[in-house]
Amino acid sequence: MSEFLEIWLPFIYLYGVGGALFLIGMILVRKSGSLNMKLKRHRYWFRVLVFGYFYFFIFHFLFTIAGLYW
Amino acid sequence: METFHNIGSSSDWIVMILYFLLVMLFGSYFGKYNRSTKDFFFGGRRFAWWLIAFSIVATGVGSHSFVKYSAKGFEHGFSSTMTYLNDWFFMPFFLFGWLPLIVYSKIRSIPEYFEKRFSPSARFLATILLLFYMVGYISIGFLTLGKAAMPMLPESFSLFGMQIHITLMGVIIFIAIITGIYITFGGQTAVIFTDLMQGFILLFAGLLLFFLGLDYIGGWGVLWNILPTEWKLPLANFNKPPDFNFVGIFWQDGIAGSIGFLFMNMGLVMRFMATKSVDEGRKAATFNVLFMLPISAVVVGNAGWIGKAISLISPDLISPNASPDQIFVVVANIVSHPGVFGFIMAALTAALMSTVDTLINATAAIYINDIHRPIKHLLKKDNLSVRATEKKELAAARYSSVIITILGVVGVLAFKGFPTVYEAHGYFHSTLTPPLVVAIFLGIFWKKFTPAAVITTFIVGVALMLLGAYYPGILIRPFAQGIQMNPEHPYSYIRAFYNLIVCAVPGVLVVYTTMKQKAIVESLKKKSNVNEIMIGMTIVSVTVFVLIVFNIFHLAFSFVLIAILFVTVPLLVNYYVAYDPVSQTEGLTVWSIARAKEMFKGRKVNEEEGERIIVHWKVVDGDDEYIQFSKNDMERMKAKVDDLVYICDKRKYLGGLKSVHQIYGEPHDEDGIVYIKNEHLLNGVFVEGRPLTAEKEM
């Protein structure tokens, strides 16, 4: 395995497989109407959920960069 | 491996004893808020999100975390706590799936959901699996507590001239007695408030240790520069070594563990159910995952990182081959002064106890709801008044807590053999969570998932899991994604992937062959000897399962047995279980949450957003559940008669402790006053002269 994959494969796997599950979850709760985008409160929660995914994505990305080059 | 004893001084022990007394007094005080089993287990659905979010810290961080993550931090660096940052993927499923469902369907335990959604037989199997899971979790907690305490104790002591050796099991039994006393008399409200206190103290103690450690080694720069690159990465190596690799731990913790923790850890689920509304539960869960878990990752892992740095700077102080499970205690002792060490250890052990007591409380809830009540119902011994029944159940809840504590201690024997608590816990999660995780998950999100499918998941899934445990080199290896097998503890983590697949696939296949099964059952029903056929099929199924459990035949023949089970179990369920796919999914899957909300309220939901108002209260005669506001106040809250209302002591720092949920009655003309009944006053524990806030719930 190349050095690049050695370092980045866990990150890609985490946000690839985890991201697919997250996406399925978002689609399911929206399609089922449980997350009802007509309600103001639910639109807020939709934004929080998307924010959370990228919050952890960016955190892991920056931490990996720091570990490698800082 | 180097082990330690007699760490700490007498002042540390004094601090620890005082801390524990304080925690027990605190818990006993809040025991007065338990007026029913509903309060004992669920805290009366009254609390604010922030109170629950902080009380979860001690539960989530507690049981095993300090010891196990410090151990892996000492061995592998920052990636030791990677599992604290992988829970977000399931938040849509939890926040808008399981959480509203479990609150609105008014179920009191996870097995009860299985009965409503599937059948009593599904509930029975879910109860067995869940009790294994919960008692196993308690055992892991006790094992960790024992391992944390051992380095502080001497190897032996003398009593009345007798030399007594201190053993791990002896320490665990002693700790279990203290835990049992506290939980038995406290209940859920006590657990929430002691956890709240301990949550704060735990974070403080963990961060204090981190800063003391950094100060000891010379600052953050020294720690960062002394660690090799791979130790500074946030995620472990993809598939090596076998005892700590990313992909195995991702499936064990990120998938099975996250779903297990959010969906089937009754301790945690009950905590969310104690919030005053679903939205408050969402806030608590979100705040916990976004902010508290990342902080907790530092809190629980830092002793290992500091320990590694010390071992590189001064190998004479901490040898590189020091026992990883003792590293937290050793580092805490090195970097802190006497007394401070006692405080840190008290915070650790108290947090561990918090997790254990939460789990004991939750397991007692399962016992009462899924064993005690159904048995009483079966024996038709339920002709007592509601209050008398409540009193008896509260007593039964307390006795069952004691028995569960004992079972938890006995269960430690199953996990003692693992090299570290981390691996024991990983194995536990990989093995005990998949059947329930798959069943709950498919039950909530897939309307087509039938009783035949869920029971096949439980029975055929468990049978295939057992085969995987017997033949890991053949069955789990294809799922191992390059992880080498450790023959002593084969595939401790990645077996979760195999187990999830073998539990899910039979269930899914059964769903897609439902019509075929029904056709076979219908043709069997036409035969005159159908009863004998079905009894014979039951005997064959049980025999086959027992043969697989004891691994009597070779693998190839075991697969023939699995094929037999896969055919007989769905047919038996289709024959014996009455299932209505419409009524038994209504309000019980994510596809009908609006209906669940209506069923919760008992009438149409009023979603209009109103104001939160401040009112004074006045007790009036009556014993119904209605409370009355003025017409103007109702208008401000956008409330109608029969809507649900939440009233709470205005002091926010109480977090909803003094509050009740009631129903709007006919309005009066006295603005700023709410008429309540004496029972509401007793439940809400309102204080004379103190104003209340009132808001419409739905």
pLDDT at residue number B41: 46
Residues B627, B691: Cα–Cα separation, whole Å: 15
**Nearest C-alpha of chain B: how many angstroms from A3?**
11
Q: What is the pLDDT of residues B466-514, one digit of tens each?
A: 999 999 999 999 999 999 999 888 998 999 999 999 999 999 999 999 9
Put simply, the answer to whether B607 touches A13 (Cβ < 8 Å) is no
pLDDT at residue number B192: 64
For chain A, which residues lie within 8 Å of any Cβ of chain B, measuring from their own Cβ? Answer: 1, 5-7, 9-11, 13-14, 17-19, 21-22, 25-26, 28-29, 32-35, 39-41, 45, 48-49, 52-53, 55-56, 59-60, 63-64, 66-68, 70
Give how far Cα B515 sits from Cα of B212, B454, B571, B574, B648, Å: 66, 16, 11, 10, 53
pLDDT tier at A12 (50, 70, 90 boundaries)?
A: very high
One-letter identity of residue B40? F
Q: Which of the residues in chain B have pLDDT under 50?
A: 37, 40-42
Say whether B698 sits in a helix, a strand or coil: coil
Residues B429, B252: Cα–Cα separation, whole Å: 6
Q: Name which of B351, B446, B373 is nearest B118 in CA terms.
A: B446
Percentage of chain A modeled with pLDDT above 90: 80
Q: What is the pLDDT of residues B388-402, one digit of tens each?
A: 777 788 788 878 888
B238 interfaces chain A, CB cutoff of 8 Å: yes
Let me know how many helices (H) and strands (E) chain B has, helices first: 30, 8
Put simply, the answer to whether A34 touches B100 (Cβ < 8 Å) is yes
Are both B10-421 and B608-696 of the same fold?
A: no
Residues B521, B509: Cα–Cα separation, whole Å: 17
Put simply, the answer to whether A59 touches B294 (Cβ < 8 Å) is yes
Put simply, the answer to whether B91 touches A49 (Cβ < 8 Å) is yes
Closest residue to B235, CB basis, from A5, A14, A55:
A14
Write out the two tokens for B267: 């301790």
Residues 6+ apart with CB under 8 A from B285: B91, B94, B95, B99, B262, B272
What does the domain layout of chain A look like in residue ranges?
8-69
Residues B355, B293: Cα–Cα separation, whole Å: 15
Residues B450, B118: Cα–Cα separation, whole Å: 7
Question: SS in 3 state form for chain A?
Answer: CCHHHHHHHHHHHHHHHHHHHHHHHHHHHHHCCCCCCCCHHHHHHHHHHHHHHHHHHHHHHHHHHHHHHC
Residues 6+ apart with CB under 8 A from B168: B143, B146, B147, B150, B416
pLDDT at residue number B177: 83
In terms of C-beta density within 10 A (0-12 exposed, 13-18 middle, 19 or more buried), how is residue B305 classed?
A: buried
B287 interfaces chain A, CB cutoff of 8 Å: no
pLDDT at residue number B27: 66
Q: What is the DSSP secondary-structure string of B11-54?
A: HHHHHHHHHHHHHHHHHHHHGGG--SHHHHHHTTS-B-HHHHHH
Residues B395, B34: Cα–Cα separation, whole Å: 12
Give how far Cα B143 sits from Cα of B65, B265, B410, Å: 12, 19, 10
H-type alpha helices, B94-164: 99-104, 110-117, 120-149
pLDDT at residue number B28: 66
What does the domain layout of chain B look like in residue ranges?
10-421, 446-576, 608-696
Distance of CA B22 to the CA centre of its chain: 25
Residues B511, B235: Cα–Cα separation, whole Å: 38
Residues B256, B320: Cα–Cα separation, whole Å: 32
Q: What are phi and psi of B472, to 5 degrees?
A: -65, -35
One-letter identity of residue B602? G
Comparing A56 with B359, the larger pLDDT belongs to A56
ipTM over 0.90: yes
Residues A28, A22: Cα–Cα separation, whole Å: 10
Residues B667, B689: Cα–Cα separation, whole Å: 22
In terms of C-beta density within 10 A (0-12 exposed, 13-18 middle, 19 or more buried), how is residue B376 classed?
A: middle
pLDDT of residue A52 exceeding 90, the answer is yes
Q: Which of A14, A46, A47, A58 to mutate to test the interface with B (most CBs of B within 10 A)?
A: A14
The CATH code of domain B608-696 reads: 2.40.40.20
pLDDT at residue number B603: 82
Write out the two tokens for B200: 């704060």
Q: What is the pLDDT of residues B571-618, one digit of tens each?
A: 999 999 999 999 889 989 999 998 888 888 888 888 888 888 888 988
Helix (H) or strand (E) holding B404: helix B386-415
Closest residue to A56, CB basis, from B85, B246, B445:
B85
pLDDT at residue number B103: 85
Put simply, the answer to whether B290 touches A55 (Cβ < 8 Å) is yes
One-letter identity of residue B233? L
Q: What is the pLDDT of residues B635-684, one digit of tens each?
A: 999 988 888 888 888 888 887 878 888 888 888 888 888 888 888 888 88
Write out the two tokens for B457: 């998941």
Residues in B closer than 8 angstroms to A63, CB to CB, are 78, 233-234
Residues 6+ apart with CB under 8 A from B258: B86, B87, B89, B90
Residues 6+ apart with CB under 8 A from B222: B309
In terms of C-beta density within 10 A (0-12 exposed, 13-18 middle, 19 or more buried), how is residue B175 classed?
A: buried
Domain B10-421 in CATH 1.20.1730.10? The answer is yes
Query: What chain B residue is nearest to A38 in terms of C-alpha separation?
Result: B607
Give how far Cα A57 sits from Cα of A8, A12, A26, A63, B85, Å: 13, 10, 17, 10, 10
Put simply, the answer to whether A28 touches B97 (Cβ < 8 Å) is yes
pLDDT at residue number B384: 66
Residues in A closer than 8 angstroms to B255, CB to CB, are 21
Q: What is the pLDDT of residues A20-39, one digit of tens each?
A: 999 999 999 999 999 999 88
